Chain A
Amino acid sequence: MSARHLAIASTILLMSSALAAAQDAKPTDPQIAHIAYTAGQIDIEAAQLALKKSKNKAVRSFAEDMVRDHTAVNDKALVLVKKLNVTPEDNATSKALQSQAKKEQAALSKLSGKAFDAAYAKNEVAYHKTVNGALEKTLIPSASNDELKDLLGTGLKIFQGHEEHAEHLAKEMK
């Protein structure tokens, strides 16, 4: 494992702990909405980086899927919070996610070619695993509004699909 890979792996570990922190104090609906939106935005930015850097067809089409799906989920979330009169509220978990994502983006930006493709695919598996775990264990059970709970539930199924898709991609990139 190279130093860069180590850096990426430790970044993901930190992200897991950021999301685990959300478990300690039960997040409120405005915080949950902010965390879920931020997590989606981070994956869109990673995909945009992949579209800028990768020439691999499978990687590019996966990245396009991520942009399309996460944009659709986040758009739906925006419509819902407006309808519910909920203002997404920034919080420690969202902040930790953002700062770790920045580091991850920086580490990925230094890679190119096959090394980039492999690292991106591996990251996507780990990232979706982390976010899905947080949705399942913390965010969905903590959500008090039924419509928010329902959207997060559908989001979870979509992202579980991404996780499986990313696993296939990571195997291909090995």
Chain B
Amino acid sequence: MRAIACLCVGAAMVLGASDTRAKTIRVEISKLLFAPVEIKARVGDEIEWVNNDFVAHTATARDDRFDVELEPGKSGRVTLEKAGAVDYYCRYHPNMTGRVSVSGQ
């Protein structure tokens, strides 16, 4: 029983440890929508936008911290270096908006 408990704690530690590793969060663009429209990330994580539309888009932060060009059928990435919430939009189609909440490590 004790061994099982230890195993569980060990597994939890491993899972917990993997949680602090930087990950890539994918945002799909289809028919002029960012999906998911709102994401939560940590400093060091990467966002990958995949443009499934036949027109070009951008993912442009309102506070200028990133501006990623997304050609039709292509993807683009950015690594989040700063904590805080940021709203972003597409410069070509400003009716497209999204949001990232970045927490510290």
Q: Is the CB of B92 within 8 A of A65?
A: yes
* B contact residues around A65 at 8 Å (CB): 92
B96 touches A (CB below 8 Å) = yes
* B contact residues around A161 at 8 Å (CB): 32, 90, 92-96
* A contact residues around B31 at 8 Å (CB): 153-154, 157
Given A72-B55, A76-B54, CB of A158 within 8 Å of CB of B94: no
A78 touches B (CB below 8 Å) = no
Set A68, A153, A154, A160: member contacting B95, Cβ < 8 A: A160
Given A68-B56, A72-B54, A72-B72, CB of A157 within 8 Å of CB of B92: no
CB-based nearest B residue for A154: B31
* A contact residues around B72 at 8 Å (CB): 72
* A contact residues around B56 at 8 Å (CB): 68-69
Q: Is the CB of A165 within 8 A of B55?
A: no
Provide the bound-state CA to CA distance between A162 and B94, in Å: 8
A-B interface pairs (CB < 8 A), number: 41
Given A68-B55, A68-B56, A72-B72, CB of A165 within 8 Å of CB of B94: yes
**What 1/0 mask marks residues of chain B from 39 to 51 whose CB sits below 8 Å from any chain A CB?**
0000000000000
Question: What is the CB-to-nearest-CB distance from B31 to chain A, in angstroms, rounded to a whole number?
Answer: 5
CB-based nearest B residue for A155: B55
Question: What is the CB-to-nearest-CB distance from A44 to chain B, in angstroms, rounded to a whole number?
Answer: 14
* B contact residues around A168 at 8 Å (CB): 94
Provide the bound-state CA to CA distance between A134 and B94, in Å: 21
Question: What is the CB-to-nearest-CB distance from B93 to chain A, in angstroms, rounded to a whole number?
Answer: 3
Q: Is the CB of A157 within 8 A of B54?
A: no
**What 1/0 mask marks residues of chain B from 61 to 76 whose CB sits below 8 Å from any chain A CB?**
0000000000010000
A73 touches B (CB below 8 Å) = yes
A136 touches B (CB below 8 Å) = no
Set A69, A160, A164: member contacting B55, Cβ < 8 A: A69
Provide the bound-state CA to CA distance between A160 and B94, in Å: 9
Provide the bound-state CA to CA distance between A165 and B2, in Å: 64
* B contact residues around A154 at 8 Å (CB): 31-32, 53
Show the binding face of B for A, using Cβ within 8 Å. 31-32, 53-56, 72, 90-96
